[in-house]
Amino acid sequence: EAGVAQSPRYKIIEKRQSVAFWCNPISGHATLYWYQQILGQGPKLLIQFQNNGVVDDSQLPKDRFSAERLKGVDSTLKIQPAKLEDSAVYLCASSLTYRGLGYTFGSGTRLTVV
């Protein structure tokens, strides 16, 4: 079974630039999550989708971060404009059900803002 695919694997940008990350969840997984993991800390949920609807985006900095999951499959996370403190690993995960069955993480995108 293919896992959760993310791209790019690494990204370096200057502050105030824009960046976008892509995630393709496991086929059939209705729930998709974007997490931010700052070095030395546990992941923090940014946004959770159930199919193509947003379930939880309470911790998403909406002034600069946006995410969408058109057609309920792939998802993109965008940062515009980036700040130095956005340097982190951005993890995408998916699960079969809203209750978390089959929770699977992608390899992450490591973002460095200079």
Partner 1 sequence: KNEVEQSPQNLTAQEGEFITINCSYSVGISALHWLQQHPGGGIVSLFMLSSGKKKHGRLIATINIQEKHSSLHITASHPRDSAVYICAVAEETSGSRLTFGEGTQLTVNP
**Residues contributing to the site for partner 1 (CB under 8 A):** 6, 31, 33, 41-45, 48, 55-56, 91, 93, 95, 97-101, 103-108, 110
Residue nearer to partner 1 on the CB measure, 80 or 112 = 112
Residue nearer to partner 1 on the CB measure, 6 or 79 = 6
Helix (H) or strand (E) holding 50: strand 44-50
Q: Which of 62, 69, 61 is nearest to 31 (CA)?
A: 69
DSSP-derived secondary structure for 76-102? EEEESS--GGG-EEEEEEEESSTT-TT
Q: How far is the CB of 45 from partner 1 (least distance, A)?
A: 5
Token digits of residue 95: 């699960």
Residue nearer to partner 1 on the CB measure, 33 or 65 = 33
Residue nearer to partner 1 on the CB measure, 25 or 106 = 106
Q: How far is the CB of 87 from partner 1 (least distance, A)?
A: 14
Residue 47 CB contacts under 8 Å (≥ 6 apart), including other chains: 33, 34, 54, 56, 57, 60, 67, 77
Q: How far is the CB of 86 from partner 1 (least distance, A)?
A: 19
